[in-house]
Structure 1
């Protein structure tokens, strides 16, 4: 049993075969679990616990964040008061990601594409003040999303005026082409968030990195929380964790920085994060994509071919 995503609740980090990797590893694993997805599923229970933490934080005396819609996603008997007033790492990470998202979008010209890789109960499309014309792509489990959407619509949740939200089932065979079909462009800036998306092993996360590397322009950011249970390292060894993270992300064209939860707390002028149940359970990161997207490369190949053809025609006329 391992700790999932810094929550402090224990669920299985499924140990599937680490044999030959293919681009469909992640999709096959997720589809296998999706068919039997139910309220007893450990990933769904982890999503409920994350939502519960947002509810309790929203009702704390000095909240890090306020989620006005999360209550409709939880059972009626979910307690709103925190038994312990210490900050939880998940709440710190959520606040950090929220702020980084909006700050980056406000400071980057032409950044109107956001891809959220989540557990299906994420309310960011509705609770954040997105800039006008933002396209929000929500990649998450189909069954969880559909149930949550019905409840959120019943609670009056709407994306900001002038913005659009699109759902992409995480159990789809071809996430890349579905994103493109819904309007995502690899020739325009984007920002990507990974927090809560069910993944079963490291190979699954590598497939996520591959998808983002193919679609994201050079300079785009990818940030979020990575469960430490996916890494075959000692979670308490910070130096080894950073080295492992660097190698993993650089192999897909990303320069990554590991963010300390205590550092986030200090920047917010808060006490240190609660460590009793969350120590070493997840890695908070920000990564910059250093490579060109497939769409950028295709655009340049087409332009280069056009220039070559025009040059051949001019040379023929001179002869």
Structure 2
């Protein structure tokens, strides 16, 4: 997969959240003690409405990741597709035996990892954090080589990954489809321009999303930012965001599950024709 330049804007927005005083009447949705290492100390914060939507999406993804991971038995597999500066592996309270795979631009990830190490960022005890370069010619093979097991449940999240074309996202979705075991969850935030239909019509965008995800085995649901905001006791103005928030479930068997099933059938005396 090819990569594209990514912006520091997500980290700047996280920094704003991490610096807000906790004694304010309105408390931040989440705290990030590490994002500050990515931006200059006197960076001007963006306080416009897009910030609210980004923070709401981040909180939604955080909570869904942790809830799903906590309900997994044994080994937990979490795959994060990001810009290389995602601090979730460090700031979230992951359950024991969680393996976190980061898929992101290698150059950005390595630079960010050094900065995070410099401020003392560490993943929780009994958890493992592994990186897979987005530039890998075969992401599925790279994930397997790193230790990902397609015969076990997994949860995938995308936010901030540099995606410049619809074809590139379709490639990513195909990769997730091939690796994610039946029943696994894929959620996150996508740029609205990916939709081939005119954004602003939820029904047409929802239909486009449904067709695209179902063609890769996923049942998908678009999530309204305003609904998430209300559940958090916040409010946002509709129509001011430029992203699509979604959650989906894999309905197909992963490639690994199919291979395992074929092997079992051969052992049982069945032959392929």
User: Does the pair score TM above 0.5?
Assistant: yes
2:177 alignment counterpart: 213
2:264 alignment counterpart: 303
Distance apart, 1:226 and its partner CA: 1.1
Question: Unmatched 5+ residue regions in structure 1?
Answer: 1-26, 34-42, 310-319
2:34 alignment counterpart: 69
1:15 alignment counterpart: none
Greater RCO structure (CA 8 Å; 6+ sep): 1
Residue 285 in structure 1 maps to residue 246 in structure 2: yes
Distance apart, 1:79 and its partner CA: 3.5
2:17 alignment counterpart: 57
CA distance in 1, matches of 2:151, 2:86: 27
Matches within 5 A, 1:16-95: 27=1, 29-30=2-3, 33=4, 43-45=5-7, 48-60=8-20, 61=24, 62-79=27-44, 83=47, 88-95=52-59
Contact 1:89 1:274 in 2 (8 A): no
CA distance in 2, matches of 1:112, 1:251: 26
Distance apart, 1:270 and its partner CA: 1.1
Aligned length: 266
Residue 162 in structure 1 maps to residue 126 in structure 2: yes
Matches within 5 A, 1:1-319: 27=1, 29-30=2-3, 33=4, 43-45=5-7, 48-60=8-20, 61=24, 62-79=27-44, 83=47, 88-110=52-74, 112-271=76-235, 273=236, 278-279=240-241, 281-308=242-269
Larger displacement relative to structure 2 (85-94 or 242-251): 85-94
For normalisation by structure 1, the TM-score amounts to 0.80
Deviations 1:148-201 (A, max 9, x none): 011000000011011110011101101111111111000011000011111111
CA distance in 2, matches of 1:85, 1:192: 27
Larger displacement relative to structure 2 (82-91 or 66-75): 82-91
Structure number with larger C-alpha Rg:
1
Question: Unmatched 5+ residue regions in structure 2?
Answer: none
For normalisation by structure 2, the TM-score amounts to 0.93
